[in-house]
Homo-oligomer: A and B are copies of this chain.
Amino acid sequence: MVRAAVMTAPNAPIEVREFPLPALEEGAILLRTVYSEVCGTDVHLHQGHLGGVPYPVIPGHVNVGEIVDIQGTPVDLDGRPLRTGQVVTFLDVHETCGHCWFCTVAKASTRCPHRKVYGITYPASEGLLGGWAEMIYLKPGVKVLPLPEEVPPERFIGAGCGLPTSVHAIERADIMLGDTVVVQGSGPVGLTCAILAQLSGATDVIVIGGPARRLAEAERIGAALTLDIATTSEEERRERILERTGGRGADVTIEASGNPAAVREGFGITRDAGRYVIVGQYTDVGDIRLNPHLDINRKHLEIRGSWGSDFSHFWRGLRVVAKHGDRFQWERFISRRYSLEEANAALDDVAHYRTVKALIDPHA
């Protein structure tokens, strides 16, 4: 039997349940979970803020595992057969259809209505399709990436699902050499955006967020200035940013806060003819007011929503962690390890910003 932490319903306590060891269909892979993680989305999932979730579900969408069984000969990206013993990660997004209008004509696969996501859209009744479990069942066609030697599982999970999300957001940001970039939010997505902004040419990266522990991480990974939302007013933050930018504002602002108020603030701190990427508004927590003349039209501003990620972001993210892991040490984002039984505590800690990244170790 395989133990898994199950989210049975919104706001209900997580329960550890046992599942039978699954039989593998052709092309499937069984992983022994090494680590999973708790991300902000799991908090939304628990609070019932995501639509269409087939509770009960096994959470955990970004994971590392060791291959313990394979049926048939699934291959890696270069066509080499995968083999037992390999430590791998896999793209949580599955069944992007490749046939619908969004996949083929719009080339916007993150808006494919058929896509499924491990740990979010599969019910526990369909099996071990989330990472808060001792084993994970990879369906045929799930995109698997072996972890390179220089990426220890802790480091990869420290980056977690914020990594591909941030790669996508940064791709949308079109940062140029010498740009000033403001990141709103100091959670995993915000911090990794702050890293990737530096790696994309920004020479001045400012992080707005909190609490202090997260801002300390922001400074550690290279933010030139951090602004604590608990101790500064919106007006003070705006002044500090204008002051550093010749009165113009940031060339690029990236919203990764989850707070709608941040979106309103973002317009005011971005320069005319700049770019504003919104990646943190993952759930609906209400409307904001904005002035279409001042905030968008006269400002000649460009605003880009960034939803989800595809395999390219996942692949690129892993390349970046492999190259720059010693410099940025994503594993230091991990505040604490939690067993399956501690999943409720983990969710609570994430919900209350007591952690940057919470790691789930199903074998702890």
- Is residue A332 within 8 Å, beta carbon to beta carbon, of the partner chain? no
**Do B300 and A305 touch (CB < 8 A)?**
yes
Q: How many copies does the complex hold?
A: 4
- Which of A200, A293, A303, A312 has its CB near the most chain B CB atoms (within 10 A)? A293
9-residue interface stretch from A3-11, A64-72, A101-109, A231-239: A101-109
**Do B299 and A291 touch (CB < 8 A)?**
no
Q: Which of chain B's residues has its CB closest to A258's CB?
A: B293
**Do B203 and A322 touch (CB < 8 A)?**
yes
Residues of B within 8 A of A251 (CB): 106
Residues of B within 8 A of A100 (CB): 77, 79
Instruction: Pick from B279, B290, B293: contact of A283, CB below 8 A.
Output: B293
9-residue interface stretch from A16-24, A128-136, A171-179: A171-179
Residues of B within 8 A of A296 (CB): 263, 278, 281, 303, 305
**Do A290 and B293 touch (CB < 8 A)?**
no
CB distance from A322 to the nearest CB of B (A): 7
**Do B273 and A284 touch (CB < 8 A)?**
no
If A178-B316, A319-B177 touch, whether A305 touches B302 (CB-CB below 8 Å) is yes
Q: Which of chain B's residues has its CB closest to A307's CB?
A: B300
Contact mask for chain A residues 70-90; partner B; CB cutoff 8 A; 1 contact, 0 none: 000000011100000000000
If A102-B272, A171-B177, A201-B200 touch, whether A298 touches B307 (CB-CB below 8 Å) is yes
Residues of B within 8 A of A167 (CB): 177-178
Complex-state Cα separation, A251 to B319, whole angstroms: 14
Complex-state Cα separation, A105 to B203, whole angstroms: 15
- Is residue A311 within 8 Å, beta carbon to beta carbon, of the partner chain? yes
Residues of B within 8 A of A201 (CB): 196, 199-201, 320
Known: A171-B176, A281-B297, A284-B293. 16 other contacts (CB 8 A): A79-B100, A101-B246, A102-B272, A102-B273, A104-B312, A111-B272, A111-B300, A167-B178, A177-B320, A178-B319, A260-B292, A260-B293, A287-B290, A288-B292, A297-B307, A298-B307
A-B pairs with the 7 shortest C-beta distances? A108-B273, A178-B319, A178-B316, A281-B297, A203-B323, A300-B307, A296-B305
- Which A residues are within 8 Å of any B CB, using their own CB? 77-79, 98-102, 104-108, 110-111, 141, 143, 167, 170-171, 176-178, 196, 199-201, 203-204, 246, 248, 251, 255, 260, 263, 271-273, 278-294, 296-307, 310-312, 315-320, 322-324
